[in-house]
Copies of this chain bind each other. A is one copy, B any other.
């Protein structure tokens, strides 16, 4: 049986990681989305274990203490994190798990689990990034400058990633990520049983494995 992997899709604000993630998931229904744990109150219709794992502040702090999260962040008054257990269970079943996250979060994951596949999503240029941040229109000029300056600093961390994808067109970015997924499925290191499978001598031996 082949192991799956965690695909970390990350990039600065304005790189378009939300849009690209959504388009990728829409085209590739077999990819699992990493389910976060949060301390915020469930909204009407949200299901525990589907949209989020809901936890009390105390439960969340215990998870942090026991090192049960791949990363976590404090947003406004609530905590959000990525539970190791969910991700590792899926991977052990051969699944590909997508985690769409900001650069700070990705670097936390890298520290704890460098076996993940790290993709840095880039805007086509810094001019274009500024345009995109501006077009959101919900921010003050000061907010825009802060976001832009953070994006600029975050570029320094691209060397920590395995791959970069330029989000000039969403379609092309999705295709690039699909190539990365296809290649990563063929990595020898995730298939410790290649010789055993060959030895079975059955023509359909590979078809029965996950990949």
A residues apposed to B, CB below 8 Å: 120, 122-128, 155-156, 158-159, 161-166, 168, 176, 179-180, 182-184, 186-188, 191, 194-195, 198-203, 205-206
Q: Is there an interface contact between B203 and A187, defined as CB atoms closer than 8 Å?
A: no
Q: Is there an interface contact between A186 and B164, defined as CB atoms closer than 8 Å?
A: yes
Chain B nearest Cβ from A15, distance in angstroms = 11
CA distance A182 to B161 in the complex (A): 17
Q: Is there an interface contact between B127 and A194, defined as CB atoms closer than 8 Å?
A: no
CA distance A128 to B198 in the complex (A): 10
Q: Is there an interface contact between B202 and A188, defined as CB atoms closer than 8 Å?
A: no
Q: Is there an interface contact between B201 and A125, defined as CB atoms closer than 8 Å?
A: yes
Q: Is there an interface contact between B186 and A163, defined as CB atoms closer than 8 Å?
A: yes
The 3 closest A-B pairs by CB, nearest first: A183-B183, A179-B182, A127-B201
Q: Which residues of B contact A182 (CB under 8 A)?
A: 176, 179-180, 183
Q: Which residues of B contact A168 (CB under 8 A)?
A: 206
Q: Which residues of B contact A159 (CB under 8 A)?
A: 188
Q: Which residues of B contact A155 (CB under 8 A)?
A: 194-195, 198
The winner among A183, A200, A205, A206 for most chain B CB atoms within 10 A is: A183
Q: Is there an interface contact between B188 and A164, defined as CB atoms closer than 8 Å?
A: yes
Chain B nearest Cβ from A187, distance in angstroms = 6
Pairs A–B under 8 Å by Cβ, sample size 9 = A123-B198, A124-B205, A125-B198, A127-B201, A127-B202, A127-B203, A163-B183, A179-B182, A182-B183
Q: Is there an interface contact between B188 and A126, defined as CB atoms closer than 8 Å?
A: no
Contact status of A158 and B194, CB under 8 A, knowing A164-B186, A186-B164: yes
Contact status of A156 and B200, CB under 8 A, knowing A182-B176, A183-B184: no
CA distance A168 to B197 in the complex (A): 14
Q: Which residues of B contact A206 (CB under 8 A)?
A: 124, 166, 168
Chain B nearest Cβ from A184, distance in angstroms = 7
Q: Which residues of B contact A205 (CB under 8 A)?
A: 124-125
Q: Is there an interface contact between B203 and A188, defined as CB atoms closer than 8 Å?
A: no
CA distance A123 to B122 in the complex (A): 39
